Structures are given as structure tokens and as C-alpha cells.
Amino acid sequence: MKRLSWMMAAMLLAAGCSNNSQSLESPNEAEPAVAVETAAAETKEAAEYVPNPQVTDDQTLLKEKQAVSDGKGELMLLRYQSADEQVQVGPVQVTLNEAKVMHFTPDYSMIDFFHMYTHEEQFDFVKISVTFENTSDEPVQFNPAAHLKTSTGELKTWEDDFYLEELASTLKPSEIKSGSMGFIVEKGETIEWIDLLTSDAVNGENAIMEQGKNVRLTF
């Protein structure tokens, strides 16, 4: 009897260990968390690109002379550079994602808006896409493009940016912003490089943390 009792106790103990092992190793509890993280990452990535209300969507334009049109007008890609260049300005890390020079023929319904920037019915422009992050624990005033200079000698300021995505702003601690800027230029097809000068990084007390830096992108 003692031996039988011992054997029964051993079987019950083994069964209990087996159940605990299955409970710990079961993937059913971990899968929802992984699925939630994956879905969140996909949502964040999809939310990074927001179509501009004034300009035709150029996401598909990756080769020179490609063209695309929609209700806002027609775009042709003249120059392209997948940049992925980084520069650090104080606590602000700036990534230049890509640069394009395009020819744009706005739809008639958009002409009035662009007359604030040019009297031409169609024009060339430089588009720069950026992502920048405040890596500090305090607010920072910053503009990723204070000035833009082209190899053809044109100089543009942040006031010439017609994308109007309000990238020039005060970044909250650890805040990340991304978007695009557009500057109308002459003879875009002949542009060989562009120089981008960022603004200074300025803290909440209006003190300069670091002066703006220059980045050159060559097509």
C-alpha cells in the first residue's frame, strides 16, 4: 500500500509539473501582445506620409522623366536623390530622407494658391523630405530648413516653402516630426546639388544650444 500511495503521489506531481510547463510555454498568451506591437508599428509607418493638399502625390516617382497626375495637377520627376543623410544640431537629430526636383503643372483650380509664390502657370521645384527628433528632455525651437541654396545660384528661405506643413516649431521632449518642404526654382533640370542650412537649435529660454548646420545633397 505504501508503494502504491507513493506511486500515485509521484504521478500527481508529474501531472502538475506538466500542466505548469504547458502554461508557461503556451504561445497563446504571447501572440496577442506580438500582434498588437506589429499592428502598432505598421500603423505608425503608414501614418508617416500625409498627402499634401496642394501638390500631386509623388510617392511613385523614382526615375527621371516619370510622370503622374491627379486632381491637383501633373508632376514630372527631373532629379532624384535617396539621401538618408543625417546631421546633429544640438539635441536635434535630422535625417534627410530624399530630395527631388520636379516640374509641376497645377490644375486650374489650384492656380490661385500658387500665385502667392509664382506668376507662372507651371514651374520647377525642389522637394525635401525630412525626419527630425528632439533627443533632449526639454523643448527645443527648430526649423529643418532655414535656407536652401542651389548649384545654379538660387537662394530660398523658409518663407518660400509652399508645402506649409508647419515643420518649423517647438519640439517637445523626445518628439519626432516628419514631413516635406517645397521651394520653386528656375531650370530645375540643370541643378546638380542643393545646400540645406538648418536653423539654430534654441531652448525654452531663447538661448542658442547650437548654431544651424549645412548639408549638401548631390544629384
What counts of helices (H) and strands (E) characterise the chain? 3, 14
Measure the CA–CA gap between 127 and 217, rounded to whole angstroms: 12
Each residue of 5-56: pLDDT tens digit?
444 444 444 444 444 444 434 444 444 444 434 433 433 343 366 788 999 9
The answer to whether residues 84 and 95 touch, using CB atoms and an 8 Å cutoff, is yes
What H or E segment, with its residue span, contains residue 120? none
Q: Which residue has the cell 516628419?
A: 178
Mean pLDDT of 179-208: 96
Cell, residue 57:
502625390
Q: Is residue 128 packed enough to be buried (19+ CB in 10 Å), middle (13-18) or exposed (0-12)?
A: buried
Q: What is the pTM of this model?
A: 0.76
Handedness of CA 198, 199, 203, 207 (dihedral sign): positive
Measure the CA–CA gap between 132 and 24, rounded to whole angstroms: 42
**pLDDT reading at 124 higher than 80:** yes
The answer to whether residues 63 and 77 touch, using CB atoms and an 8 Å cutoff, is yes
Domain residues of the chain, as ranges?
A: 2-43, 54-218
- 3-state secondary structure at position 181: strand
- pLDDT value at residue 49: 67
- pLDDT band at residue 157 under the 50/70/90 scheme: very high
Each residue of 165-184: pLDDT tens digit?
999 999 999 999 999 999 99
- pLDDT value at residue 83: 78
DSSP label at 118? -
Decide which of 1.10.150.80, 3.90.110.10, 2.60.40.4170, 1.10.8.50 is the CATH code for 54-218.
2.60.40.4170
Mean pLDDT of 189-216: 96
Strand partners, 196: 148, 215
Backbone angles phi, psi at 181, to 5 degrees: -130, 145
Each residue of 63-120: pLDDT tens digit?
999 999 999 999 999 999 997 899 999 999 999 999 999 999 999 999 999 999 999 9
- pLDDT value at residue 48: 60
